[in-house]
Amino acid sequence: MSPGLKFYGNLVDLDCHIQDLKLVLRKTEEIEFPDHEEAVEGDSLIADIFPDITRKGFIVTLLIALDDQLKIYCEILKEATNQSLKWNDLKGSALERFIIYSEKVCGISSVYEDIDRQKLAGLIELRNCIVHNNSSIEGFSKHKVIGDFARKMEGLNILEGYITLDLAVCNNCAGIVLKFMEHAYYAALEVYPK
């Protein structure tokens, strides 16, 4: 199979995967959990303990999909260019390694737009804060990145030092991932047409 066909196929696969993730999120949000015994009307034990667990789970799952796409993209490039160096041989974050490998090692020009990279970097730090600091920006080393990202993303809020997410921001974050990878895949398709 040609590299162009692989790039195109993975782009379509990513789009389908993201649409499925959004559907699962929407359906999960519709689930009505029973109230606990001592609940005041309208109260829910699930909502009290896990107020936006599905949304935070969505962000984590979305970034798992992104990490997988970065890896697959670079593996296709490695094979297409007969490159002996692997993308994970490089130093830096997955995003940095992806960009360096694609552009400098394999010669794909401009795999991202700067504004999309900034948003994606904010999203990555959002995920890191959710996973590594229980959504608390206090003591999180990149809290300023998250603060900047929150100012750009309506529905992403920091309340009493904790990240909260509206449903709409999850869909916007999915759009960030898809747009970033679309740009990268289209750049590769210019070099390796279908």
Domain boundaries, the chain: 3-30+54-191
Helix (H, G, I), strand (E, B) or coil at 136: strand
**DSSP bridge pairs for 157:** 164
Residue 34 pLDDT exceeds 70: no
Mean model confidence pLDDT for the chain: 91
Structure tokens at 167: 């449903």
Confidence tier at 42 by pLDDT (50, 70, 90)? low
More confident of the two residues 90 and 39: 90
pTM here is 0.90
Identify whether the C-beta of residue 49 lies closer than 8 Å to the C-beta of residue 76: no
- 73 CB burial (10 A radius; 0-12, 13-18, 19+): buried
Share of residues in the chain with pLDDT > 70 (%)? 90
Identify whether the C-beta of residue 129 lies closer than 8 Å to the C-beta of residue 123: no
Residue count of the chain: 194
Lowest pLDDT segment from 24-28, 33-37, 85-89, 112-116 = 33-37
Residue 100 pLDDT exceeds 60: yes
Number of Cβ atoms within 10 Å of the Cβ of 49: 9
DSSP for 24-74 reads HHHHHHTPPPPPPTTPPTT--HHHHH-TTHHHHHHHHHHHHHHHHHHHHHH
124: left (phi over 0), alpha (psi -120 to 50) or beta: alpha
Q: What does the pLDDT read at residue 29?
A: 83
Structure tokens at 94: 């997955």
| Pairing assessment for the beta strands 162-165 and 156-159 based on DSSP bridges | antiparallel
